[in-house]
A and B are shown apart, each in its own frame.
Chain A
Amino acid sequence: MDGLGGAHKILDVNYYKHSRASLCLVLPPVGSARSAILLLECIEHFIGFALFGNPDIQIQVCSPGRLDARRSALLAIGFYLGSDTLRRYTLGDLATSFAEREPYSRGRRLVLYDAEGDFDRNFGWWKESGKQHLVEPQLPFKNGRSDLLTGSGSRLDIENINLLATLLVHAQYRGYWGQLGMQFQEEMEALLERHVLKGLVDAPWVRTDDPESDDDDRFFAALQELVAYAFEESARIKKEGRLFPGWHEERVRSSRGILQEVQSLLQKYRSELVRQSDLLDQGGRA
């Protein structure tokens, strides 16, 4: 605890916590998903207690920049469908000490904006200027985060949220990955449309300044529809596995159900980010 700044820095000053939590530990911001996972693994190792996949520990992943309502919806939906765990929620599972706290009432949502607290903007921001790749020493916003309450989270959740938030925040703030982010948005919305779920994006997945976003029930109805669709898809895959055990894996790969499609989409964009980054490292043009 001392290494993280002392109890006064990480526990006492923090009014925010899950409504059922005894305490909320705020970890310092780091520059990548890999660093975040490593930090949690080091804490796990030190305390001899699992943090990942532990039902007693709720992990909230914070990303810089307040994503707008639509992109917040895509962040939440992408996280949910891409996770290694399908979760069934009650609205109470999403209640925090800031659910009703004025002036920062955030409602009961998967995605929450910050409450204008401390924000370290000293992280590199990739941008494109003409044909040049530039790294600004600071983020392009002075404040603002989009936080995602994963519940009992995994390493994959952190990697996926980081990927999704990177694409979406670059699309919103015209960063280096802006074009790729816009393309991702289009593909994600097309995917939802194929499954007749595009209307879900219009629900208030995050509480913004817009008074119409206050409706927890409208958000929760959308979340329940998503959850029901994902559980049904999971049951279909399992049933096919029982009926046709010999070619279950092939069927899963070729079924193009929503869960498989989201995995493929995340993999495609993860690979593209890595490919273009490698090209930049080699001094070429991505």
Chain B
Amino acid sequence: MICAHQPGSEPIDIPETIPNPVVVPKPTPTPTEPAPKEPVRIPEKIL
């Protein structure tokens, strides 16, 4: 009989979560500051 964590045996280690091996991880998007607002342009008066 081989007990867990006995020298020479593989420890029984049940993970709670593991990565799904068939899903290719997507890079996490880096947040960027929003572009500064452009000043409101007031149309010139046409006489």
Contacts and interface: CB of A to CB of B under 8 A. Distances in A.
Interface of A: 41, 44-45, 52, 83-88, 152, 155-156, 231, 234, 237-238, 241, 252, 257, 259-260, 263
A87 B22 contact: no
Interface stretch (B1-9, B10-18, B36-44): B10-18
B15 A88 contact: yes
A222 to B, nearest CB: 19
Interface of B: 14-23, 25-26, 28-29, 31
A234 B21 CA distance: 6
Nearest to B16: A88
A252 B22 contact: yes
Nearest to B18: A86
A233 B12 CA distance: 18
A247 to B, nearest CB: 15
B31 A87 contact: no
B20 A41 contact: no
Chain B contact residues: over half helix, strand or loop, or mixed?
Answer: loop
A85 B25 contact: no
B18 A231 contact: yes
Going nearest first, the 10 A-B pairs with the smallest beta carbon separation are A84-B23, A45-B31, A237-B21, A259-B22, A260-B22, A87-B17, A85-B17, A86-B18, A84-B20, A234-B21
Most chain B CB within a 10 A radius of its CB, from A52, A88, A238, A241:
A88
A259 B14 CA distance: 20
Contacts of B17: 85-88, 152
Contacts of A85: 17-20
A44, A86, A152, A259: most-surrounded residue (chain B CB, <10 A) = A86
Given A45-B31, A88-B17, A234-B21, 18 more contacts: A41-B29, A44-B31, A52-B28, A84-B20, A84-B25, A85-B17, A85-B20, A86-B17, A86-B19, A87-B16, A87-B17, A88-B15, A88-B16, A231-B18, A234-B18, A238-B21, A241-B21, A252-B22
